[in-house]
């Protein structure tokens, strides 16, 4: 489902549940539009939105929309510019920005979101460039544990969920953010699958089959 109407619908059926995008492909929407939609959703949900953003990773999404699938570094660079624009608009600034990918001149939002100084922004993914950007700019750093090979044409690599790989990514975020900022960052893990079972070991083996990930089970 399209995320924005789904979020508003979920929030309307609850009173305390926070709602979030996890994550919106930056290349499919201009940052001014993203900021406008986020501000509106925050108002309609009484200040319960978390805006999750990503750089895009599945080539078929681009091909089907007739869009060029740039190299990862270029997509992260574009996301970095978008985050600058979105943050400024959500704080209530009049934004003028001239970057390599976006140009915005004297734009402001009205009405503004309820959350102050602005609603939380999550940046999620798995690559070093993306997580470096998240460590510098995000309120919430999302670890997806997924690497797409061949533009998404082959099964995703889930080896990012090995204990050693998780440790390395958390360490990267901590080093880039610095201790003071790191203490304020929320770490988020994207759970790829949930199995309700009384047979934990077999379920763990099923989840990690072929992924080179690591599983641990412990007694209750």
The pLDDT assigned to 142 comes to 95
* pLDDT over 90 at 76, yes or no: yes
Question: In which band, very low, low, confident or very high, does the pLDDT at 71 lie, cut at 50, 70 and 90?
Answer: very high
Question: What is the reported pTM?
Answer: 0.87
The pLDDT assigned to 208 comes to 64
* pLDDT over 70 at 180, yes or no: yes
Show the tokens assigned to 123.
């940046």
* 118-133: pLDDT as tens digits: 999 999 999 999 999 9
Query: What sign for the dihedral angle of Cα 126, 132, 133, 135?
Result: positive
Q: Measuring CA to CA, which residue among 54, 56, 191 is closest to residue 133?
A: 54
Q: What are the structural domains, with CATH classification, of the chain?
A: 3-208 (3.20.20.30)
* pLDDT over 80 at 5, yes or no: yes
* pLDDT over 80 at 212, yes or no: no
Q: How far apart are the first and last CA of the chain?
A: 37
User: What value does the mean pLDDT of the chain take?
Assistant: 90
Bigger pLDDT: 183 vs 148: 183
C-alpha to C-alpha distance for 179 and 175, rounded to whole angstroms: 8
* pLDDT over 70 at 154, yes or no: no
The pLDDT assigned to 70 comes to 95
Show the tokens assigned to 29.
């929407």
C-alpha to C-alpha distance for 141 and 173, rounded to whole angstroms: 8
C-alpha to C-alpha distance for 59 and 48, rounded to whole angstroms: 32
Question: In which band, very low, low, confident or very high, does the pLDDT at 55 lie, cut at 50, 70 and 90?
Answer: very high
Show the tokens assigned to 192.
């790829």
Q: Measuring CA to CA, which residue among 67, 66, 104, 69 is closest to residue 84?
A: 104
Residue holding tokens 């790989």?
Answer: 165
The DSSP letter of residue 157 is B
Read off the pLDDT of each residue in 43-72 and give the average, rounded to a whole number: 94
How many C-beta neighbours within 10 Å does residue 142 have?
A: 25
Read off the pLDDT of each residue in 63-83 and give the average, rounded to a whole number: 96
The pLDDT assigned to 201 comes to 86
């Amino acid at each position: 489902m399209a995320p924005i109407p789904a979020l508003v619908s979920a929030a309307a059926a609850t009173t305390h549940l926070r709602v979030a995008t996890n994550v919106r492909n930056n290349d499919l929407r201009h940052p001014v539009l993203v900021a406008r939609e986020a501000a509106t959703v925050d108002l309609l949900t009484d200040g319960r939105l978390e805006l999750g953003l990503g750089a895009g990773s599945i080539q078929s999404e681009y091909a089907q929309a007739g869009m060029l699938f740039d190299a990862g570094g270029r997509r992260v660079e574009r996301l970095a510019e978008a985050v600058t624009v979105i943050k400024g608009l959500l704080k209530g600034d009049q934004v003028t920005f001239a970057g390599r990918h976006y140009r915005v001149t004297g734009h402001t939002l009205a009405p503004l979101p309820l959350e102050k100084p602005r609603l939380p922004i999550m940046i999620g993914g798995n690559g070093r460039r993306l997580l470096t950007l998240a460590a510098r700019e995000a309120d919430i750093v999302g670890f997806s544990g997924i690497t797409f090979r061949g533009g998404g044409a082959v099964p995703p690599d889930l080896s990012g969920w090995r204990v050693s790989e998780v440790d390395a990514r958390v360490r990267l975020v901590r080093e880039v953010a610095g201790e003071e900022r790191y203490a304020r960052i929320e770490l988020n893990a994207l759970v790829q699958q949930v199995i309700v079972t009384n047979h934990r070991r077999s379920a763990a083996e099923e989840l990690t089959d072929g992924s080179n990930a690591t599983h641990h089970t412990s007694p209750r």
